[in-house]
Amino acid sequence: MKRTLLLLSLAAVFSGARAQKVPADLIIRSVSVIDVERGRTAADQAVVVKDGRIIAVTPTGKLRHSAPVEVDGSGKFLMPGLWDNHMHFGGGDTLAHENRNLLPLMLAYGITGVRDCAADISHFVLPWRDSIAKGLIDGPHIFTSGPKLEGYKSVWKGDIEIGTKEELAKALDSLEGLRVDFVKITDNTLQPALYLESIRETRKRGLAISGHVPYAIPMKDIVDAGISSIEHITYLLKAGSSEEAGISKGVADGSLKGRALSEKINTTYDKASARKMFRYMASKGVAVTPTLSLGHILSYWDEHDRSHDDYLRYIGKGLQSTYAGRVNNILKHDAAAIAQRKASYERSSAVLADLVAANVTILAGTDAGYLNSYCYPGLALHEELALMVKYGMTPQQALKASVINGPKFLQQKGYGAVAPGMHADLLLLDANPLDDIHNTQKIRGLVSGGRWRDRAQLDELLAETARRTAAGI
């Protein structure tokens, strides 16, 4: 009798334990979790998701949760979703639908966050941003600058042109009214003094500011004004010149320009001078987004003509038409010009290693989107990561530049780690990208906003994007 009562009691205990399992929405079990910050993995983990957040990460054997969706992650690797920290929506209102189709395309390539660095359709992008945040439409989280700041009669469409401090104040009022996530500034026609004033006034309002940099201004002055990030590594060649002050002066007074300017910058880049300036930038928290992808595509076009890529099935005809300008220009190059553009690309890309050595924060971004020829939203981020590794970063550093430094730049918490309390934006891979950065392309599944999509569902996103693109919708 006592033995029977004991067995019944134990059965009741185990039954109660099963009944008391904590409910969740999704469990990925038996998976190796990648810690991007530390560059290591933890094997045989269970990751539990509820209401769009991770609520537990535990050894699979200690799992105390249940969920209607369970994924077997055996032999797989789980990391935070990727961020493309420099891309562009744009091309005018008539191309808004083609830009809209890029949202599921980027998800299918594991991109769960993007930084839109200004274009001319902000009145579409801002509602997309808010709708995605509310879970009303699918797409990566969007953080946008809205229209960029520029001078009068700039080459850029849809920017805010300013020429006085009063116009600057009104422009910043307008951007704050749009609730932009940061401010973008470029240097086409904006006067140097107003450029610096734009940085200072933007920072006073508590907004981060990223941009191109005028060659007429020494880098130290730009850093001291308070710029948050510099877009495109090519600007860092001048910053690393042993004669930067003289170059800036020559540009400002008009005595140095064109080919002579380029040759002066290229021949006076000096590692000691560069690392001194780069360490100063690092001390002030200035980030750099190298955007190696577009330059590589154009520089090596003779070796890889992308005009017949299968990927173009996802890119609308209108967006493709914006690619023509840059490509038509390089098609005019003779053998000497081709060699020169390749050498120039290699020279600027080599600067990445010096930036890393100086502990400058690097953001992984592509320049993908309209206008930037054959730099494809989605795929480009994977290509960018591979180029970053080729030119001086470890796979761990490149991943960090995407998934940790991107959110941190924007002061967004809850991203960049597979840990309790974080957003459930997760990428399940067949192989470990810490071993080989190309493994980011071996996507087995994606969690976005807490929703699981397996490989078949991601393929359907691609197929639907291709259908919509072919139909022009």
Per-residue pLDDT of the chain (473 residues; tens, 9 = 90+): 444 444 444 444 444 444 588 999 999 999 999 999 999 999 999 999 999 999 999 999 999 999 999 999 999 999 999 999 999 999 999 999 999 999 999 999 999 999 999 879 999 999 999 999 999 999 999 999 999 999 999 888 889 999 999 999 999 999 999 999 999 999 889 999 999 999 999 999 999 999 999 999 999 999 999 999 999 999 999 999 999 999 999 999 999 999 999 999 999 999 999 999 999 999 999 999 999 999 999 999 999 999 999 999 999 999 999 999 899 999 999 999 999 999 999 999 999 999 999 999 999 999 999 988 899 999 999 999 999 999 999 999 999 999 999 999 999 999 999 999 999 999 999 999 999 999 999 999 999 999 999 999 999 999 999 999 999 88
pTM: 0.93
Query: For residue 77, which of 453, 435, 461, 471 has the smallest C-alpha distance?
Result: 435
**pLDDT at 8 (0 to 100):** 42
**pLDDT at 19 (0 to 100):** 52
E runs forming strands in 387-439: 426-429
**pLDDT at 401 (0 to 100):** 98
Question: Do residues 122 and 146 lie in contact, with contact meaning Cβ atoms separated by under 8 Å?
Answer: yes
How many CA atoms lie less than 13 Å away from 365 in the CB half-sphere? Answer: 29
**pLDDT at 364 (0 to 100):** 98
Q: Is 138 exposed, middle or buried (0-12, 13-18, 19+ CB in 10 A)?
A: middle
The dihedral built from the CA positions of residue 165, 171, 176 and 181, taken in this order, carries a sign that is negative
Question: Do residues 256 and 250 lie in contact, with contact meaning Cβ atoms separated by under 8 Å?
Answer: yes
**pLDDT at 7 (0 to 100):** 44
**pLDDT at 4 (0 to 100):** 46
Q: How far is CA 387 from CA 169, 437, 440, in A?
A: 39, 10, 13
Cα–Cα distance, 78 to 426 (Å, whole number): 7
* Token pair belonging to 156: 């850029």
- Listed in sequence order, the residues at least 6 apart from 308 whose beta carbon sits closer than 8 Å to its beta carbon are none
216 secondary structure, DSSP code: T
